[in-house]
């Protein structure tokens, strides 16, 4: 099987079975592909999903048949072909056309290959000068060119402006680095660097303590260092959240929305495995994931329990030194690795998420001791889930004061988009 055929099958599953891109990619890479073909298949799958609206617009300009009349096989063959022609400089147009025709011969009816050939060659002749229309304004232009829902573009433009938005949309088209968190309960950063290098994994230090950026390739399924619990995979933005929370050995810390456990384990490592970390989740299978993560890392202080973070638990009132609310959110900061988010999230979803976030924050506020630290974080970049959410919280909870606030965009340092706000509960002098 070729990379293009593996990509086509994955795209077909995404289109017809509502398979998530990550799952479809995993299935595609389980086929007998060379390393080069695995890389090409990955680029094709993510590229088509990320740019689906733009690709469909181009196809509609060069096809006499409406998209809704095409079979899922044909439309995805065309998407693959147009993506290669318009977005991939290293692939000759002739190769993109010829390979697409081969796929059409196998996965379409007799006339399908001629149709695919005609559309792709017509676009190929004009692709160098092709432009998306701007007549209806920048919101619709960005929505079309970068394949974002219009409501999402309008919200982002209001908050960040045209220049930052365009940089963000461009950045989300690129692959981002893989980051590791060194488990300092089992090794130092320096020891980890040597161990990983000996196992063929090249890394470099970052500005965040115990965070390494992978500079080569990594497969954790084949990594002895990973199975031995020497490190975890965790984005640098997530690690920065724990750095800002700054947990201390011997403290009691709550992680309100903990699964799959990365932040809970990072907290425990910072605490030198001394103290208590209560980790909540509403699903039993996710609670088990937290426990397994802690076990792999040799962590004993994480107490993972089945609990709804939005529901009060009176026995926990004023018992925590620090509380982390890594809230459920729209996830718009991680579109670069989860492109499905663009097409699965709705404005109504965001409204419901904001209500849930508000409830969790309110509950979390009751668990802190006087002088305790509350950190609120999300992996989104929408103001109503971040800045506005905190403004409303502080207006309703006068005992809390904001210490720091940061909105990270993927345009800034190649990190995932993230929001982190640190607050302190002031001591009651009465």
| Residue range 130-169, pLDDT digits in tens | 999 999 999 999 999 999 999 999 999 999 999 999 999 9
Contact 362, 312 (CB under 8 A): no
Q: Tell the CATH superfamily of the 236-425 domain.
A: Vaccinia Virus protein VP39 (3.40.50.150)
CATH of domain 172-233: 3.30.70.1170
pLDDT at 221: 79
- C-alpha span between 8 and 79 (Å, rounded): 9
pLDDT at 288: 95
Q: Which of 343, 422, 336 is nearest to 381 (CA)?
A: 336
The sheet carrying 203-205 orders its strands as 203-205, 211-214, 178-182, 231-233
Contact 226, 182 (CB under 8 A): no
pLDDT at 58: 97
Using CA atoms, how far residue 154 sits from 52, 261, 301, 353, in Å, is 19, 34, 45, 19
Neighbouring residues of 265: CB distance < 8 A, sequence distance ≥ 6? 232, 293, 294, 297, 299, 302
Active site residue 97: no
| Residue range 161-171, pLDDT digits in tens | 999 999 999 99
What is this structure's pTM? 0.91
pLDDT at 176: 80
Domain with CATH 3.40.50.150 in the chain: 236-425
Single out the catalytic residue among 211, 257, 354, 379. Answer: 379
Domain with CATH 1.10.940.10 in the chain: 3-129
pLDDT at 322: 98
Question: Per CATH, which fold does 3-129 belong to?
Answer: N-utilizing Substance Protein B Homolog; Chain A (1.10.940)
Domain with CATH 3.30.70.1170 in the chain: 172-233
Given a cut of 50, the residues of the chain with pLDDT beneath it are none
Per residue, the 3-state secondary structure of the chain, as one string, reads CCHHHHHHHHHHHHHHHCCCHHHHHHHHHCCCCCHHHHHHHHHHHHHHHHCHHHHHHHHHHHCCCCHHHCCHHHHHHHHHHHHHHHHCCCCCHHHHHHHHHHHHHHHCCCCHHHHHHHHHHHHHHHHHHCCCCCCCCHHHHHHHHCCCCHHHHHHHHHHHHHHHHHHHHHHCCCCCCEEEEECCCCCCHHHHHHHHHHCCCCEEECCCCCEEEECCCCCHHHCHHHHCCCEEECCHHHHHHHHHHCCCCCCEEEECCCCCCHHHHHHHHHCCCCCEEEEEECCHHHHHHHHHHHHHHCCCCEEEEECCCCCCCHHHCCCEEEEEEECCCCCHHHCCCCCCHHHHCCHHHHHHHHHHHHHHHHHHHHHEEEEEEEEEEECCCCHHHCHHHHHHHHHHCCCEEEEEEEEECHHHHCCCCEEEEEEEECCCCC
């Amino acid at each position: 099987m070729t990379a293009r055929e593996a990509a086509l099958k994955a795209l077909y599953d995404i289109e017809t079975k509502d398979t998530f891109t990550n799952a479809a990619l995993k299935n595609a890479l389980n086929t007998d592909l060379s390393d080069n073909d695995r890389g090409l298949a990955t680029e094709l799958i993510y590229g088509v999903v990320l740019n689906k609206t733009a690709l469909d617009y181009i196809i509609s300009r060069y096809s006499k048949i409406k998209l809704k009349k095409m079979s899922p096989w044909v439309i995805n063959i065309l998407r693959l072909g147009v993506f290669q022609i318009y977005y991939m400089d290293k692939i000759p147009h002739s190769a993109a056309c010829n390979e697409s025709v081969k796929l059409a011969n196998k996965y379409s009816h007799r006339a399908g290959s001629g149709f695919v050939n005609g559309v792709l060659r017509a676009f190929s002749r004009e692709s160098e000068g092709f432009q998306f229309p701007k007549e209806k304004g920048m919101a619709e232009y960005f929505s079309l060119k970068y394949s974002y829902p219009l409501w999402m573009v309008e919200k982002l433009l209001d908050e960040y402006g045209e220049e930052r938005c365009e940089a963000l949309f461009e950045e989300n088209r690129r692959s981002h680095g893989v980051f590791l968190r060194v488990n300092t309960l089992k090794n130092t950063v320096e020891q980890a660097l040597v161990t990983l290098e000996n196992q063929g994994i090249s890394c470099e230090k970052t500005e965040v303590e115990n965070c390494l950026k992978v500079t080569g390739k990594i497969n954790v399924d084949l990594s002895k260092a990973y199975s031995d619990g020497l490190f975890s995979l965790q984005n640098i933005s997530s690690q920065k959240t724990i750095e800002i929370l700054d947990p201390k050995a011997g403290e009691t810390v709550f992680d309100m929305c903990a699964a799959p456990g990365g932040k809970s384990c990072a907290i425990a490592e910072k605490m030198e495995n001394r103290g208590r970390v209560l980790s909540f989740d509403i699903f039993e299978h996710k609670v088990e994931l937290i426990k397994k993560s802690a076990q792999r890392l040799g962590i004993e202080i994480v107490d993972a329990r089945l609990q709804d973070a939005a529901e009060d638990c009176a026995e926990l009132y004023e018992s925590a030194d620090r509380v982390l609310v890594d809230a459920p959110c729209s996830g718009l900061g991680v579109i670069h690795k989860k492109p499905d988010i663009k097409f699965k999230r709705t404005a109504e979803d965001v409204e419901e998420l904001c209500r849930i976030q508000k409830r969790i924050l309110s509950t979390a506020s009751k668990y802190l001791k006087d002088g305790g630290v509350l950190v609120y974080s999300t992996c989104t970049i929408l103001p109503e889930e971040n800045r506005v959410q905190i403004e409303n919280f502080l207006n309703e909870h006068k005992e809390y004061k904001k210490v720091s606030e940061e909105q990270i965009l993927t345009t800034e340092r190649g990190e995932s988009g993230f929001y982190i706000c640190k607050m302190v509960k002031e001591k009651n002098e009465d």
